[in-house]
Amino acid sequence: MQEKRSSILEAMSGYGCLAKNVAMNHRGDLTRMQLEVLLTLHYGGQASMTELSRFIAVSNEQGTRATTPLVERGLVKKRRNGCEHRVVEVFLTEKGEAFVKSLEESFIDDIAVGFEELTDAEKAELIDASNRASKLLWKALKRSWTE
């Protein structure tokens, strides 16, 4: 059972590493941590600074240091929570969303170039395997969310 879990985690990590490597190639002058903040807010939506820092596995201070330059560049916005003034919420601006979307387009373009090097049979095999893996992972995760 432990081997199966390790294999699943390795496969999921592999997809994540590929995506992050492409994003790092197109990040411009952003640090790895700043890129992580942008991607987290894009895919996860608005969050408190504490939630964001916890998700990217850094201290609140490190999360704040990574986020401040993004605010200065207009990619991220901060605001105090209306009910709890000590809580600072962060979210992507339209400019931030556009930046992440351009990263996604670069990612797709890079994959398309590499995809052309595969034979038709290899392309079909990769697409089928990815679709099956995605469906099975969603099924497994969905079950854990309802328990």
Q: What is the pLDDT along the chain (147 residues), one digit of tens a residue?
A: 445 555 555 655 556 666 667 667 766 788 889 988 998 899 888 988 999 998 888 999 999 999 999 999 999 999 887 677 788 899 999 999 999 998 888 878 877 887 888 898 988 888 888 788 777 777 776 655 444
Residue 147 burial (10 A CB sphere; 0-12, 13-18, 19+): exposed
Q: How many CA atoms lie within 13 A of 52 on its CB side?
A: 32
Sign of the alpha-carbon dihedral angle for 28, 30, 32, 36: negative
pLDDT for the residue numbered 98 = 95
Report the chain's C-alpha Rg in angstroms.
18
Query: For residue 49, what is the DSSP state?
Result: H
Nearest to residue 15, comparing CAs of 103, 99, 107?
Answer: 107
